Amino acid sequence: MNHQVLFHLAFPVTDIDRTKAFYVGGLGCELGRESPSALILNLCGHQIVAHVTREALTPQQGIYPRHFGLIFTAESDWEMLLERAQQKQLNFYQEARRRFPGLPTEHRTFFLEDPFGNLLEFKYYCDAEAIFGRSECDRVGDAV
């Protein structure tokens, strides 16, 4: 492809005001269009859309199978978001840590939980090749 491609993700929420408080006021997303039933947000240049549901949102037990987030290519940007999340007192589902230390797939990660039980992961890989490569390393994620 010769043109920039943007990622789009839709996810469930139950309250637009609480969504704005977390994603705009907390994470720093840019607010896009909104209606009483949906909210478009700019998450570092990618479109995420919160859709209000009347269905019960059942929190999952652990980080798998569903979460979404960002992979930072600069460690300083990852650290800035971590500091912002701490300052804004966002709900950490998992505190910042190093995953797979000493391996080619070593990365820094933390998980946030929005007010609706959606989990967000933010990563920085020490070796950028590990984002998609390093197929010799067969470990993906934590043991379940």
The first and second tokens of residue 103, run together, are: 């391996």
pLDDT for 81 beyond 90: yes
Please tell me the predicted confidence (pLDDT) of residue 8.
Answer: 96
pLDDT for 23 beyond 60: yes
Please tell me the predicted confidence (pLDDT) of residue 130.
Answer: 85
Please tell me the predicted confidence (pLDDT) of residue 1.
Answer: 76
pLDDT for 138 beyond 80: no
| Distance from the first to the final alpha carbon of the chain | 36
pTM above 0.75, yes or no: yes
Please tell me the predicted confidence (pLDDT) of residue 2.
Answer: 83
Please tell me the predicted confidence (pLDDT) of residue 132.
Answer: 83
86: left (phi over 0), alpha (psi -120 to 50) or beta: alpha
pLDDT-derived band of residue 101, with 50, 70 and 90 as boundaries?
A: very high
Average pLDDT over residues 101-113: 94
Instruction: Give the number of residues written for the chain.
Output: 144
pLDDT-derived band of residue 49, with 50, 70 and 90 as boundaries?
A: very high
Residues 6+ apart with CB under 8 A from 110: 82, 85, 92, 94, 95, 96, 97, 121, 122
